[in-house]
Structure 1
Amino acid sequence: MAKYKNIVVGVLLLGTTAACERPAPPVSARAADSQNITVYLQQQMQRLQAEKPMVLKSVKTENSPTETIETSEVDWEDELAVFQEVDLSRPALQDLYSEHREPHTDGSTSVSFRKVEEAETPVQYLQLQLSPQNNIQQLEALVLEKNLLFYSRRKVSLSTDPESGDVSSYRIEGVQKLIFGDSLHYRIDANL
């Protein structure tokens, strides 16, 4: 009899646990589009690490000549990290941005997310150009971070090859300043 009592208690506990679990919230269109950024970049990082394509990269800092190198030795996780920062799929960010969608006659869609005025989040805006298949064609974002000691403003953009959908180029333009230092303006251009 004790054996059956343990089984009944186990079934009741299992039923209670299942009843208390919350169902996963449905993914909004905003979260789905934003999630595509992270998923897309992770896939591209893996592909680029394996293929090691040649990259023409130019770096320009204030009052210095442009430095240009061509290399296949790139840490893609580090190189594309700035674009992962603009991922807006985290549930805590969902109410901090307004969304505007504009379908185009060719089947593509422009999607823009703008920070609501009272929100305190570094991504000021995110604009995506999506193909008819909902793949990223272009991405542009503005990231602003500031506190008592530091100021940083970066405009990032990324373009993909229209045929393959792979990353074809990206640009990072920015300025950073420490409270007791001069501002440093910079621009990084990379073409694959």
Structure 2
Amino acid sequence: MKSSITILAIFTLFISCKEESTTKINKYFDLKTSITNQINVLNKEKPTFSKTVWSDNTPETKDVKIEDWSKELELFLQTDLNKPAYLNSYEINQSDSLIVYHLKKSENLPVNNIKILLKNNQLTAMEATIANQNYLYETDKHVKMTLVDNVVNYYLIEGTQKLVFGDKKAFKIEAKVKK
């Protein structure tokens, strides 16, 4: 009998810990949900974008219907600050329509800063700087997105990448919805 009570107590403790760990508290603006919602809308509506890709400073522009928006906007998802490791890592400056997050000097995380514009508590624009560095490579990325009528109408992804045994290479992708 004593062993079954012990097992029941351990099981109850396990369940209560599991429930507690799945509760997510968002200290920062929930960009992940906003961008995931945009991905769902764009995958459903399949708008045509005029997309320009710069390679070696030479632009190439095409009208495209993007098939996989989660892949296209992956860098935007990486700006999610609501991760346990990021909890107290950012300074916050906020007004009714603007939120700015800056990485504290004492922290070493990939997202350096984010600027979020809101209208009626809805995302209308965002931009962020992401940087990663280790002994093999160094990257520096800037992403920007604007929304009209709660749907993405423009985005920019640009930056540089340098491998340890190579030159620094710049990249830029800019896309605007076709009217």
TM-score interval, smaller chain: 0.7 to 0.9
Q: Aligned partner of 1:123: which letter?
A: V
Percent identical residues: 26
Structure-to-structure mapping, 1:29-68, within 5 angstroms = 29-30=27-28, 33=29, 35=30, 37-63=31-57, 65-68=58-61
In the superposition, the TM-score normalised over structure 2's length comes to 0.85
Kept in 2, the 8 Å contact 1:151–1:177? The answer is yes
Establish whether residue 27 from structure 1 lines up as the match of residue 25 from structure 2. Answer: yes
User: What is the count of residue pairs matched by the alignment?
Assistant: 173
Q: Aligned partner of 1:97: which letter?
A: Y
What's the CA shift for 1:77? 1.0
2:122 equivalent in structure 1: 135
| Gap regions ≥5 residues in structure 1 | 104-108
| Gap regions ≥5 residues in structure 2 | none
Establish whether residue 124 from structure 1 lines up as the match of residue 124 from structure 2. Answer: no
Where does structure 1 differ by over 6 angstroms across 4 or more consecutive aligned residues? none
- Larger-gyration structure (1/2): 1
Establish whether residue 172 from structure 1 lines up as the match of residue 170 from structure 2. Answer: no
What is the alpha-carbon distance in structure 2 between the residues aligned to residue 100 and residue 83 of structure 1? 21
What is the alpha-carbon distance in structure 2 between the residues aligned to residue 159 and residue 90 of structure 1? 24
2:166 equivalent in structure 1: 181
Kept in 2, the 8 Å contact 1:98–1:115? The answer is yes
Deviations 1:139-191 (CA, angstroms, capped at 9, x unpaired): 11000011111010001100000xx2111100011010111111111211011
Kept in 2, the 8 Å contact 1:171–1:187? The answer is yes
Deviations 1:83-119 (CA, angstroms, capped at 9, x unpaired): 000000112211111111123xxxxx21111111121
Establish whether residue 112 from structure 1 lines up as the match of residue 97 from structure 2. Answer: no
What is the alpha-carbon distance in structure 2 between the residues aligned to residue 19 and residue 81 of structure 1? 34
In the superposition, the TM-score normalised over structure 1's length comes to 0.79
2:12 equivalent in structure 1: 17
What's the CA shift for 1:40? 1.8
Kept in 1, the 8 Å contact 2:27–2:82? The answer is no
As a proportion of its length, which structure holds more strand?
2
2:81 equivalent in structure 1: 88
Kept in 1, the 8 Å contact 2:47–2:65? The answer is yes
RMSD between aligned alpha carbons?
2.5
